[in-house]
Amino acid sequence: MKHSLVLALLLILTSAAFAQTAAPSVTFWNELQKLCGKAYSGTIAVDTANSPDFANKALIMHVRACEKGRIRKPFFVGGDRSRTWILTRKNSRIQLKHDHRHDDGKPDKVTMYGGTTNNPGEATRQFFPADEQTTKVVAPPAGNAPSAAANVWWIELVPGEYFTYNLRRLGGDRLFSVKFDLKKTVAEPAAPWGWKK
């Protein structure tokens, strides 16, 4: 009996220690998984480019498809259903890719760009510096402006509060941020372009 109690206590302590030492990226991923199947309304927090693509449009993030190691989140801008954020877990790292489609479902020529975290990050925030694919598919800007190779994306997820998607182009003034309210879900939107269901 004494040995059983000691063993049970050791198991509890080991489990507690493991929970406290889980990599921040694992905690972040687990919180993302809790959003699966839900849709949320968003607002532009910052857009230094003042892009007309986003002005006065309804913004919806739908955490539509959750598979082992991959989460796909369409981002709808008004009636434009061309964008899907794809997050893929690779051990203690997370990759972010942007899947862009035309309304016939075919890939845009600028698609599958993004980056992979280069450290475990924080439990509520992960950074994605631009990868080589980004430099290949995103056209260089005119003049002396920094290229997409200087892009850094980050996602902030505060459970039960908000989710933000952010882009900063280092060396320039480009900053984009959209914030989604996690306190209230909205109706699931139609499938994004190129999805069968």
- Could you tell me the pTM of the whole model? 0.87
pLDDT of residue 20: 59
Domains and CATH numbers, the chain: 23-181 (2.40.128)
* pLDDT band for position 159 (cuts 50, 70, 90): very high
Q: Give 18-43 pLDDT, tens digit per residue.
A: 445 789 999 999 999 999 999 999 99
Residues 171-185: tens digit of each pLDDT: 988 999 999 999 999
Q: Is 54 left (phi over 0), alpha (psi -120 to 50) or beta?
A: alpha
